[in-house]
């Protein structure tokens, strides 16, 4: 009897966990799609790092948190900023400030030379705040694709459905077994 109770608790736990994963995934995918693929958490944008220019501090495939800023002229030498350049977002360190903060000279930590073009203050999206999670960026990029969004929604749902079918089948089998036992006891 104790074993059945433990199995029931485990079954309920797995069902709850699968349901929570499905809901979290659903809301994460919907939020990312609604915001144009940009995950936003407590005022921080989560960005995927696709190159090794900032290694070893920021590894390729990591996600980083950047704080959006309205004041693009308040950065100093050593700050790590994310800026728009030729339809790409780049995260590099400021190595020099020009024209009272209207232009910044940047360089990736792993690069041998500064970036070719100075960064105009209007191009700055935000500042890196030191929060990074290695390798999760690969998952975020996959989740932003059509195939990834579908898989991340369908897979937990299919697991929940399969687990529910197995649970219902076991319950029906248990009821049938109880009826057989009652019929045997009456004779």
DSSP 54-99: TTTTS-TT-EEEEEE-S-TT---TT-EEEEEETTEEEEEEEEEEEG
State the sign of the Cα–Cα–Cα–Cα dihedral 115, 134, 128, 32: positive
Phi-psi region of 61 (alpha: psi -120 to 50; beta: other; left: phi over 0): left
* The total number of residues written for the chain in this structure: 187
Residue 70 has pLDDT above 60, yes or no: yes
Q: What is the pLDDT of residues 80-109, one digit of tens each?
A: 998 988 888 889 999 999 887 788 999 999
Share of the chain above pLDDT 90, in %: 12
Burial class (CB in 10 A: 0-12, 13-18, 19+), 166: exposed
Q: Which residue among the candidates 35, 51, 53, 123 is catalytic per the annotation?
A: 51
pTM: 0.60
**pLDDT of amino acid 93:** 93
Residue 37 has pLDDT above 60, yes or no: no
**pLDDT of amino acid 19:** 75
51 is catalytic: yes
């Amino acid at each position: 009897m104790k074993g059945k109770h433990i199995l029931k608790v485990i079954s309920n736990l797995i069902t709850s966990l699968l349901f929570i994963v499905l809901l979290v995934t659903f809301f994460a995918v919907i939020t990312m799609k609604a915001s144009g693929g940009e995950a936003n958490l407590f005022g921080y944008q989560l960005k995927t790092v696709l190159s090794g220019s900032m290694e070893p501090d920021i590894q390729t495939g990591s996600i980083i948190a950047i704080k959006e800023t309205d004041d693009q002229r308040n950065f100093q030498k050593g700050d790590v900023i994310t800026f728009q350049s030729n339809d790409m977002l780049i995260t590099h360190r400021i190595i020099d400030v020009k024209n009272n903060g209207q232009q910044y000279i940047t360089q990736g930590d792993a690069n041998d030379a500064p970036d070719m073009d100075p960064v105009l203050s209007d191009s700055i999206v935000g500042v890196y705040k030191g929060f990074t999670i290695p390798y999760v960026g690969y998952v975020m990029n996959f989740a932003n694709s059509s195939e990834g969004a579908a898989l991340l929604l369908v897979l937990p749902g299919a697991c929940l459905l399969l687990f529910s079918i197995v649970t219902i089948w076991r319950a029906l089998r248990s009821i049938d077994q109880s009826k057989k036992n009652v019929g045997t006891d009456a004779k």
